[in-house]
Amino acid sequence: MASIWNHRISISLFGEAEGPAIGVVLDNLPPGEYVDLEALARFMARRTHSPFLPDDPNRQPDYPQVLSGLVNDRTTGSPLCAFLNNPRGGQEVDLSRLSRIARPGHADYTGAMRYRGFADVRGGGHLSERMTVPLCFAGAVCQQMLERRGIYVGAQITSVHNIKDRPFSQTDVTREDLLKLRSGKLPVRSRVQGRKMLADIQNASAGGETLGGTIACYAVNVPAGVGSPIFEGLENSIAQLVFGIPGVRGLEFGAGFETAKMTGSQCNDTFYVDDRGHVKTVTNHHGGILGGISSGMPICLAVAVKPAAQIGKPQPTVDYSALKNEVLQSEGVPHPCMVPEAAVSVEAAVCIALVSHLLDYPNFI
């Protein structure tokens, strides 16, 4: 499986959703980087805490155990390996139906074709969104490296279903704006809109439905000159990692698809020198990246996330082992919306991509 991402730093994800454990190995991290384990735990809690469930002090958060690569809270330069046990790992599961029924919206059928029926299908196996937990561990480590150098990344839920939150300005988004997103049940600007989103999700779940949404992610204080052209572009690296998050169906940078409606004079971002002697642009349709290289403006991207595939309604499907039609009836809606978890995962992905390119930037290490 293509579970290794290698671009100056290397990330390898391992495990399955309901196997004994899942984890990640990070290689080529610079030695001597301090890792604040409490801050890392807070990042992981944002990924694993469900805003749809009541607070439970007895619920154990997902927090990986570090096996190697960290001594006295400093990276050693050797592979950093972390894993966590799965709460349902090792339980006996009846695979007779799981391994032959194509659940609509899931990768059961495509996975069976690709891996000839041998892939672990429990809970989605290696194709499950649960694999973003170790991805977020890697992102949390990279985020700390960035923030020590004054670079901040934050993701905002801009919509769930038809309820929208107002995005930040793509020219003036600040560190303080991004830090505020980390408090509250959802990373939104308007708490009122956040409550409406949660109510809409809960109503959909009660009716056997799931909801999707959109996420905006920003990176501020990224210096100009980070990245490379053509196949080594900064957007390329971000896109690879973001599309590794299950449920992501679309990605755009800056004005994205809106640029197709513009003329050249409307789309071009005019350069100027501000009162501190910094080169900036009046607008940021380019999303902070030109020719695969950062411009010094905020890096801005938007991500579309589909509704979770398991719904509480009967769905026509097929038994692909017997080549006959079936009807699938799921038991309830265990995951009514993937957007909150995906927002943290997108933030992690952008942090990883930035660190991988900044290792080539003068004086970063």
Residue 58 pLDDT: 52
Confidence at residue 103, expressed as pLDDT on a 0 to 100 scale: 84
Against a cut of 0.85, is the pTM above it? yes
pLDDT of residue 1: 52
Rounded Cα–Cα distance for residues 52 and 69 (Å) = 35
Query: Tens digit of pLDDT per residue, the chain (365 long)?
Result: 579 999 999 999 998 888 888 999 999 999 999 999 999 999 999 988 777 665 555 555 678 899 999 999 999 999 999 998 887 655 555 555 666 888 888 888 888 888 887 777 777 777 788 889 999 999 999 999 999 999 999 999 999 999 999 999 999 999 999 999 998 889 999 999 999 999 999 999 999 999 999 999 999 999 999 999 999 999 999 999 999 999 999 999 999 999 999 999 999 999 999 999 999 999 999 999 999 999 999 999 999 999 998 899 999 999 888 889 999 888 778 889 999 999 999 999 999 999 999 999 998 98
H helix runs in 148-288, sequence order: 175-180, 191-206, 234-242, 264-267
d(CA 98, CA 212): 25
**pLDDT of res. 29:** 97
List the structure tokens of 6: 């290698």
Domain ranges of the chain: 4-358
How do the residues of the chain divide into helix, strand and coil, expressed in percent and rounded to 5? 30, 25, 45
DSSP at 337: B
Nearest to 105 by CA among 126, 127, 89: 127
Q: Which fold has domain 4-358?
A: Chorismate synthase, AroC fold (3.60.150)
Q: Which two tokens stand for residue 78?
A: 């050797």
Q: What is the pLDDT of residue 54?
A: 57
